[in-house]
Amino acid sequence: MKLRLILIFAFCYLNAVAQQEHPNNTTTTKKEKKSFLKKLWGDPLQSSITAMPIGLHTDFDKHGTSKRSTINGLHEALYFAANYKSIELAVFQNSFAEPVVALFYKRAWNFTKRFSVNFGLGIMYGYGGKLRNTEGIPLRDTFLIKGDINPVTGFELDYRVYKKWSIHSSIAPRIIIYGVRYTL
């Protein structure tokens, strides 16, 4: 619990610092105003490679398994992804210590030059219907979750710390994973 609070505080602090660096992006040149729907749709992602090796379940005490390496509630996520603009291919180790492949379409809300929130929707293969027995999974009693191919969605927090390197976190139903992102 302490680790979660520290990470949430760190992201909030970094966001506040980034906003002070670029308040409202006011310049003398005219910028094209985006409609509300275009702002809501976001921007294409920059092509990148992401590695998020560790994570946690929001209810780890109930979900921890003996197959997973754990350090203070953290477990191996082993999430690796590459994206070209808004299309991302990812592989990761699920909570059952099995490999999963996922394909996403992602967009970004760029709040400052350093801080963005990415969001996406995709499909994944590798759970073999096991998610239907996991509490907290949306639509777990429908055909969407009972089969071999399942939908996946989530949000990512990205804070650029150095030119092309970012601290990166992904938040999806029941999990939060952490790592780095390198922009190509």
The CB-based long-range contact list for 76-82 (8 Å cut-off, 24+ gap) reads: 77/52, 77/53, 77/175, 77/177, 78/53, 79/50, 79/51, 79/52, 79/53, 79/55, 79/170, 79/177, 79/179, 80/49, 80/50, 80/51, 80/52, 81/49, 81/50, 82/48, 82/49, 82/50
Q: What is the pLDDT at residue 1?
A: 47
What distance in Å separates the CA atoms of residue 79 and residue 6, rounded to the nearest whole number? 22
Element (H, E) at 7: helix 2-21
Is 29 within the bounds of a domain? no
Tokens, residue 150: 């399942």
Q: What is the pLDDT at residue 26?
A: 47
Alpha helices in 109-148 (DSSP H): 143-146
What distance in Å separates the CA atoms of residue 127 and residue 101, rounded to the nearest whole number? 10
Q: What is the pLDDT at residue 100?
A: 92
Is 32 within the bounds of a domain? no
Q: What is the pLDDT at residue 58?
A: 61
- Quick check: pTM over 0.95? no
Structural domain that includes position 50: 2-22+37-183
- How many domains does the chain contain in total? 1
Run means of pLDDT, 10 residues per run, the chain, 184 residues: 51 51 49 81 93 77 51 75 94 85 95 94 87 70 77 92 94 87 95
**Contact present, 28 and 164 (Cβ < 8 Å):** no
Is 121 within the bounds of a domain? yes
Is 28 within the bounds of a domain? no
Q: What is the pLDDT at residue 28?
A: 43
Element (H, E) at 4: helix 2-21
The domain that holds 72 is classified in CATH as 2.40.160
Is 31 within the bounds of a domain? no
